[in-house]
Amino acid sequence: MRHCKMAGILFVTFVVASIASVPLAKAQAVGPDVILIRITSTIDYKLQDLIANAAADIERGTASKLLLEIDTDAGYYAPSMELVQQLSSIRTNVVAYVGPAGATASSFSTFLAMASGLLAMNGGTAIGNAAAGIDDAASVNYLAGIMQSLALMNGRNAPAASQMVTANAEYSAETAYSKGICDLIVDSYQSLLAALNVDSSNVVEMKLSQYPSTDSDTAYQLVKLFADPFVLRFMFVTLAILVMANLLLTLLRPRKSKLDDANSALFELIRMEVLSPDVYRPPTGVELHETPLHTSQNTPSPPAFKMSRVPTHPPERRVEKPIEVRKR
């Protein structure tokens, strides 16, 4: 009887331990990964697609955070603004890291950094100069409003953030931290992972080279080519030069009038009479009295040429029949 009680106690203990150990084992085995995307080239639609896929993984719960390592000063307006909207929707799970040392986040990459929930900068980096190359006052004011909204949404210094657009201010990592633009200063990438309490084995890097179908898309390459501002400027200048050249040639080209046509016909007659009379000599052997110009004194008689009239048949005469009168 005692052995049966001991067996029952051991069985219950085993079942309880098994039930308790299942969630713990599952939590240790299934740890959500951190997606790393390095932005070191021009911000375009391919990068937007890549970040959109990462954002979808975060929304599905297959990843916990999105880590953007930023070191670029080039980008296109449309994909950059769309990326700002995507990152704003998951901003609490986005970490922007300006690094490594010597990196710079300028132009439209500044908006991506400000749209993140946590902005970390490596020592020796800089951020700002967000409106480089934009001279339109309306566009500058619009971008400054977006920058202020992003700063307020993430609890950062809105006036200092606006200065990066309106005055193209550029802050070092220490200055950005003192002004409330940067949230964290680290010494290296590993220091950032340690500050985030993330193990490097749980970081999965997504690269553009992992999507060869996107890289080999001919239509996308053509759209990217013709969307390049330099190419558009070159095409516009070339078209303007061609239009101006055509207009100039049209204005300089002499216009013909009826008087010019009459003079041309007169000159052609003189050339026929004076310069090459043999070309127009008839093959009949009739001797022509040729003079430089035909006048009333030296007009040849009989005339050298006669118009041969084509004989025509006279019209048939209509024969009318007499009217017959019938007697009653």
Q: What are 133-173's pLDDT values in tens digits?
A: 787 888 889 999 999 999 999 999 999 999 999 998 999 99
| % residues pLDDT > 70 (the chain) | 65
pTM of the model: 0.57
Model confidence at 11, pLDDT cuts 50, 70, 90, reads: very low
**In the chain, where do the E strands start and end?**
33-39, 63-70, 94-98, 104-106, 118-122, 126-128, 170-172, 184-186, 203-205
Contact 186, 195 (CB under 8 A): yes
Whether residue 2 has pLDDT greater than 70: no
Q: Which of 5-14, 84-93, 227-236 has the highest mean pLDDT?
A: 84-93
Using 50, 70 and 90 to split pLDDT, how confident is the model at 289?
low
The per-residue pLDDT for range 317-328, each reduced to its tens digit, is 665 666 665 665
The answer on pLDDT for 91 being more than 70 is: yes
Alpha-carbon distance of 155 to 153, in angstroms, equals 6
- Between 9 and 40, the more confident residue is 40
* Mean pLDDT over each residue of the chain, to the nearest integer: 75
Whole-number Cα distances in Å, 235 to 228, 240, 241: 11, 9, 10
What is the DSSP-derived secondary structure letter of residue 264?
Answer: H
pLDDT of residue 121: 94
Beta-strand relationship, 94-98 and 126-128:
unpaired
From CA 209, how far away is CA 212, in angstroms rounded? 6
* CATH of span 31-216: 3.90.226.10
Name the more confident of 58 and 11: 58
Helix or strand holding residue 148 (H, E): helix 137-153
**Residue 218 confidence (pLDDT):** 60
Strands 94-98 and 63-70: parallel
Every domain of the chain and the residues it spans: 31-216, 228-275
Q: What is the mean pLDDT of residues 192-205?
A: 89
pLDDT at 217 over 90: no
**Distance of CA 129 to CAs 30, 134, 205, 247, Å?**
42, 11, 28, 42
- Which tens digits make up the pLDDT trace of 15-37? 334 433 333 332 233 346 899 99
In angstroms, rounded to a whole number, what is the distance separating the alpha carbons of residues 113 and 109? 6
